[in-house]
Structure formats: structure tokens, C-alpha cells
């Protein structure tokens, strides 16, 4: 049997990760393998030791360039309207104490240059990876992952079931507890994943860990077991 030429060999890679749900019948969700753009020295350090630096929304606001910088991450107006045409508008901020790792569905040189990084690695199982990171974060509370939602503005509009009358005080004013309760109804994961449409070409996939408190605009974590869910991007992966 003749040897398969190098250029024709199929590179062995992990199969797609799949989450199985049970609700009467089985339903499978294939999670994406995503790319994290980073400088090669930090990628090598991660694969050697498991050390990884996570960013924050506060850090994103400090970048001056239009590719990485975004002063509005985790913030937006939430507009709720009741069936009797009453409305409430709440300005919300989420992710203040969140460590974030921004990845992308895309692997391309343009994004690499835009992010000002010289390499990338792939996370082949985002659920397993995120779980191992969470186990090494002091004060970890909860987490979320998902594809970013791109819109022309950061307004979240929803129909809500809300009784304004119960918040009326004897003097005719409204109890400010109404704002907190409205925020709960209008809340959810959207603000954590919402980005302006001008960033849409990045096709971002975001991993986010909420922790008790963050003392800086980054969080360094050492999670050696997270490496099993990653692989280095090879030169041929970039394509032409």
C-alpha cells in the first residue's frame, strides 16, 4: 500500500462536542469549536502550565481602537410594554463582576490582525473548558456562554406582565421597588451577549464567569485540566 501524500492526509481532530438533553425524547446539541486569538507566547504558556488571562468589560472600555474597544459592553436600555399599553424603561448594567473570554467562530488573518494578536488556539469543547476554568475561580457564582447578538442599538424590548397599580404609594408616587422588579422581568442573558452591529464580522462567541468580586480589569487563572479541551492552531488551518 502506498503512503498517502502529506498534502492529502486528513488531520485527526476531536469530534464536535455534543450536549444531550432529555425531555421525553433525546435531543442533542452540537456545541461549536471556537477560536481564541492570542499571542503565541501566551498560548505556549497556557499549554505548558494552564495559565490563562481572562478579561473584563471594564478592560474592553479602555481599548481605543475600533476593533477591540467597546465602552457599552453589558449596558443597555430595557423597554417593557404591558397589554394595556403602559410602558417602563430601565437602564441596566450587567457583567460588572464577570471574567470574560472572547472567542470567534471564524479563523482568518483579518481578525487576527484586527485583534493585534499573532496566533490563535481552538477550544474544541466550550462546556468542558468553561467548567474547568470555573473550578479554579475563587468566588465563582454562575456562568454563561453563547454567540453574541448583533443589533444596531442596545435596546431590549419585551412585552411584560406588570401591574403598576400595586406600586402606587399613598402620596401618588411610585415605589422605587418597581424599578428592581421591572429589571428582573426585563433582564436575562441578552445584555451579556449584546454587541453593536458594526462588530458583526467578528462572529464572537463569548464565555463569561460571574464571580463575587473583581479587583482589577483582568483575572489570571491556572486551570491545567482546561487544556484537554483545546488545541493549538496549525499553519495549515489558516488556509489561503
State pLDDT tens for residues 157-197.
778 777 777 778 888 777 788 777 777 777 777 888 888 88
| Dihedral of the alpha carbons of 136, 140, 199, 107, in degrees to the nearest 10 | 20
pLDDT band at 2 (very low <50, low <70, confident <90, very high): very low
Written as nine digits, the cell of 111 is 481578525
Containing domain of residue 140, as a range? Answer: 6-238
- Secondary element (H or E) of residue 59: helix 57-60
Q: Which residue has the cell 426585563?
A: 186
> Over the chain, what is the mean pLDDT?
82
Number of structural domains (the chain) is 1
**How far is the C-alpha of 77 from the C-alpha of 91, rounded, in Å?**
5
**How far is the C-alpha of 91 from the C-alpha of 180, rounded, in Å?**
11
> Is pLDDT above 90 for 50?
yes
Residue 233 covered by a domain: yes
Three-state DSSP at 231 gives strand
More confident residue, 63 or 107: 107
DSSP-assigned letter for residue 112: H
**What pLDDT score does 6 carry?**
46
Residue 208 covered by a domain: yes
Residues 6+ apart with CB under 8 A from 23: none
Mean pLDDT over 129-157 rounds to 90
Write down the pTM of the prediction.
0.79
Residues 6+ apart with CB under 8 A from 200: 150
Residue 223 covered by a domain: yes
Distance between start and end Cα atoms, the chain: 31
For the ranges 4-8, 139-143, 174-178, 191-195, which has the lowest average pLDDT? Answer: 4-8
**What pLDDT score does 61 carry?**
59
Residue 1 covered by a domain: no
Residue 27: count other Cβ atoms within 10 Å of its Cβ.
10
Written as nine digits, the cell of 6 is 502529506
Residue 53 covered by a domain: yes
Residue 38 covered by a domain: yes
**How far is the C-alpha of 140 from the C-alpha of 211, rounded, in Å?**
4
* β-pair type (149-151, 194-196): parallel
**What pLDDT score does 72 carry?**
64
**How far is the C-alpha of 144 from the C-alpha of 140, rounded, in Å?**
12
Amino acid at each position: 500500500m502506498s503512503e498517502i501524500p502529506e498534502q492529502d492526509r486528513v488531520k485527526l481532530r476531536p469530534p464536535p462536542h455534543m450536549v444531550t438533553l432529555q425531555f421525553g425524547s433525546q435531543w442533542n446539541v452540537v456545541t461549536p469549536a471556537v477560536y481564541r486569538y492570542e499571542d503565541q507566547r501566551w498560548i505556549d504558556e497556557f499549554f505548558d502550565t494552564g495559565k490563562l488571562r481572562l478579561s473584563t468589560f471594564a478592560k474592553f472600555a479602555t481599548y481605543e481602537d475600533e476593533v477591540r474597544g467597546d465602552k457599552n459592553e453589558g449596558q443597555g436600555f430595557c423597554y417593557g410594554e404591558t397589554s394595556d399599553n403602559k410602558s417602563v424603561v430601565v437602564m441596566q448594567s450587567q457583567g460588572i463582576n464577570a471574567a470574560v473570554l472572547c472567542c470567534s467562530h471564524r479563523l482568518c488573518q483579518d481578525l487576527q490582525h484586527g485583534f493585534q494578536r499573532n496566533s490563535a488556539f481552538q477550544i474544541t469543547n466550550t462546556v468542558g473548558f468553561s467548567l474547568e476554568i470555573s473550578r479554579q475561580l475563587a468566588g465563582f457564582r454562575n456562568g454563561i456562554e453563547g454567540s453574541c447578538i448583533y443589533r444596531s442599538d442596545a435596546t431590549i424590548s419585551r412585552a411584560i406582565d406588570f401591574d403598576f397599580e400595586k406600586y402606587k404609594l399613598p402620596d401618588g408616587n411610585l415605589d422605587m421597588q418597581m424599578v428592581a422588579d421591572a429589571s428582573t422581568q426585563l433582564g436575562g442573558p441578552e445584555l451579556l451577549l449584546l454587541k453593536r452591529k458594526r462588530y458583526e464580522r467578528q462572529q464572537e462567541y463569548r464565555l463569561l464567569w460571574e464571580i463575587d468580586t473583581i479587583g482589577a480589569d483582568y483575572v489570571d487563572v491556572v486551570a491545567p485540566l482546561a487544556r484537554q479541551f483545546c488545541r493549538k492552531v496549525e499553519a495549515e488551518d489558516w488556509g489561503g
